[in-house]
Chains A and B, each alone.
Chain A
């Protein structure tokens, strides 16, 4: 495989009109993206008093349960149940089997909510899990939320998270508004360890529901009592919109932004909805972050990078790096925001990167030889990158952060990696 040939098949980000137009680097991929089923599992696993029932092939059900059996995800007794489809079910539908399994589940366990998850096969043959969920809900008097996770309609696991989170809307009841907030889209770590939580706590603001990060079914039921929803990840945007429409709860997008200006804007908007003055601590943190940006700029100017996958929002983070004088050579993503878009436009005004679909690291090895980036952001083999003179930027530590702490940790890692890349360049030259 020749790097030049691969690059010649890539599209420039500026030439892509729809997400569908983003090309796969090669026709065969490895490891490929995760599927929405895994996304749904990741979202549901941390909701207390709830369980999931996955309907699919042995593979889908086996891999989902075996992942949750990891102690990190709940251990052997994790509340993940399965119904395995066979040829008979494909021919005649799996309704009866699901009904039987649901009865078994309810006779042995007492979940307050069940997420009924359908996978590729059920969606192809048209099993109506929405209707089944509605029936079970009435029959057993608990919440039963249908979640659709067919992978052939999406590029990765993100829609699975979004679908599971959005499905929670129907569990919520209208409530009198209080002074608290909900955190929507808390996928990594605990909200209580973030800067944003610290600032809100000092301001006397109470956190109601953090979905999906460790909330309970009762917290979901009463989530409409919050004064404002904070959307910390785009996967919860549909839920936030739904709650605004159903209960009038406003929302603020406070994702894992890297640029101090974006974070400051989110803080300002949030405290506006809370009808409270912006704490002086936020002003101080903003000032410190702006200073760090100024200090880091000289060492990051003209640093070339390939963007893989990070816990930060792709376009905001890339726009931030471009604003630092860095040069994006290739961005791997499956998303394309609707144009005009603030961050996308900024990237295109100041750089001209290629774009390909993510999660296909095998052929990238040949691309590195041609593009010769200084940095790679995302999951890759660090040693292999070093051999090619590339430094790996690790941003996973930022996944449990929100606020200016993200700017600080990201800049610290970028400058470290840029310095390492220069050393590697010297070593290779000698």
Chain B
């Protein structure tokens, strides 16, 4: 019974926690610019992230290690530090994007510019981590995140054609704007395969003391949580395709996406969009701040844990404090939050091999995994998607920068 409850909570929180600034921004922009034709990128990213999340749970169940600690042990400090530094840098950019997303939601609501909100939002984020019990905060925001299901409701109300949707699941190059199409495809994949997601998941499996009886439960949580979550990301793209594209609205800023739910849901649509953006980004920001502090603690051997008071984990709490402050500075600098997000997601795709491949080596090491090593099939799927995405990203980023001049 306890296990069923655990599975249910796991699935619900991964649905609520799936959507973040990256998925909203990339899906909205992709739908507005290219209709359904980038749905395949969400699908591809989701297949990969299902495999990765399942692996990270299985890894911690079988080996008793968190991924970060095990990568350092397996590859040594010298082999570990570069991927680690790259992951930190990307986390910083993504956290700035998430905080920016909350700020933009507040700007849409109040009319006061987003930069003004950077410090209050960062303070609220930090206070919750500093004062509250993490697991309550985390499950709470993930449950609130279910508000993003309004995008799925909108798809049904707008009556999308199943046949056309299915066609979007097959990759195809458009006649025009091929460079931008490629860039968006890469960003969508980067937004879907967020490395902090599976690092965080492995920490959770250790904290909740999952043993081998959780192997099947882990598979269920990873598969259904990520699949349902991906449906919401696809719904954002479909709604943008149905409401923004016909009017020729290009989503270069969040303001242009704010009304995408109105045709389906009426006046409430505006507020639902704001709530979705704010809650999804805030929840992801919490998770990302924690995930980064976890990674630092697991890398350097500090105390870590969800429910430690700051006093009992000084370096851990200082890590997220500094990290949040730096991200707030990036938002404060006034970079266009939408551009920052898209760029961060594409960079995520570039460094994916650096974060994923060492983990994949661990998954095939019998000293850690015993008889639970990866199947050849899952190795091939993950390697192909990750390497392909990184190559595409390396091609697409310069093209996008040249093209947008």
Answer yes or no: are A and B bound together in one complex: no
